[in-house]
Chains A and B, each alone.
Chain A
Amino acid sequence: MTVRRKEIHLAAHFPGVNNTTVWTDPRSKSQIEFSSFEHLARTAERGLFDFFFLAEGLRLREHKGRIHDLDVVGRPESLTVLNALAAVTDRVGLAATVNATFNEPFELARRLATLDHLSGGRAAWNVVTSSDAFTGENFRRGGYLDRADRYTRAAEFVAVARQLWDSWTPDGVPRPFAHRGRHFDIAGEFTLPRSPQGHPVVIQAGDSEEGREFAAATADVIFTRHGTLEAGRAFYADVKKRLEKYGRGPDQLKIMPGVTVVLGDTAAEAQEKAAGIRRQQVSPQNAILTLEQIWGVDLSSYDPDGPLPETDPVPDSSLTQGRTRHGDNVAIAEKWRALSKEKGLSIRQTVIEASARQSFVGTPEAVAIELETFVRRDAADGFILVPHLTPGGLDEFVDRVVPLLQERGAFRTEYEGTTLRSHLGLSGPEGKQ
Chain B
Amino acid sequence: MTSSHGRGLLHLAAAVDQRAVHDADSYVELVRLAERGGLDFVTLDDTFARPGPDALAVLSRVAPATSRIGLVPTVTTTHTEPFHVQAAVATLDWVSRGRAGWRIDVSATESEARLFGRRPSRTPDFARAGGSPWPADALWQEAGEVAEVAAKLWDSWEDDAEIRDAATGRFIDRDKLHHVDFTGSAFSVKGPSIVPRPPQGHPVRVVDATEGTARQTAAEYADVVLVRAVSAAHATAVRDQVRESAREFGRDPGDLCVLASLVVDLGDGEHAAEPGHGGGGPRPTAQGPLYRGGPVDLAELIAGWYTDGTVDGFHLTPAEPRRDLERLVNGTVALLQHRGLFRTFYPGSTLREHLGLARPANQYAVAHAVTGGAS
Contacts and interface: CB of A to CB of B under 8 A. Distances in A.
Q: Is the interface of A mostly helix, strand, loop or mixed?
A: loop
5 contacts: A34-B64, A77-B90, A120-B23, A188-B115, A192-B53
Contacts of B194: 57-60, 74-75, 77
A58 B83 contact: yes
B91 A81 contact: yes
A74 B57 contact: no
Nearest to B85: A77
Contacts of B173: 69
Contact of A118 (B53, B157, B169): B53
B56 to A, nearest CB: 7
Contacts of A114: 22, 53-54, 57-58
Contacts of A83: 57-58, 60-61
A79 B61 CA distance: 10
Nearest to B23: A117
Interface of A: 23-24, 32-34, 37-38, 57-60, 66-77, 79-81, 83-84, 86-88, 102-104, 106-107, 110-111, 113-115, 117-120, 137-142, 172, 174, 184-189, 191-193, 195, 283-286
**Which 8 pairs, one residue from A and one from B, show the smallest C-beta to C-beta distance?**
A285-B169, A137-B190, A84-B95, A83-B60, A80-B91, A87-B64, A76-B91, A77-B87
B174 A118 contact: no
A191 B84 contact: no
A84 B64 contact: yes
B61 A70 contact: no
Contact of B94 (A34, A119, A120, A284): A34
A120 B196 CA distance: 30
A74 B116 contact: no
B84 A67 contact: no
Contacts of A23: 164, 171
Interface in B29-75: 48, 50-54, 56-58, 60-65
A184 B81 CA distance: 17
A88 B53 contact: no
Contacts of B22: 114, 117-118, 192-193, 195
B170 interface: yes
Given A103-B84, A107-B48, A285-B169, A74 B24 contact: no
B118 to A, nearest CB: 9
Contacts of A102: 81, 84
Nearest to A108: B84
B116 to A, nearest CB: 5
Contacts of A80: 56-57, 60, 88, 91-92, 95
B172 interface: yes
B115 A138 contact: no
Nearest to A35: B97
Contact of A67 (B87, B177, B187): B177
A263 to B, nearest CB: 25
Contact of A111 (B54, B79, B81, B191): B54
Contact of B188 (A38, A106, A107, A137): A137
B168 A285 contact: yes
Contacts of B94: 32-34, 76, 81
Contacts of B114: 186-188
A137 B56 CA distance: 25
Contact of A87 (B65, B90, B111, B189): B65
Given A83-B57, A88-B64, A110-B54, A70 B170 contact: yes
A37 B28 CA distance: 20
A21 B107 CA distance: 41
A69 B95 contact: no
A161 to B, nearest CB: 13
B186 interface: yes
A139 B189 CA distance: 6
A117 B64 contact: no
B372 interface: no
B87 A104 contact: no
B52 A87 contact: no
Contacts of B82: 140
B51 A192 contact: yes
Contacts of B50: 191
Contacts of A103: 81, 84
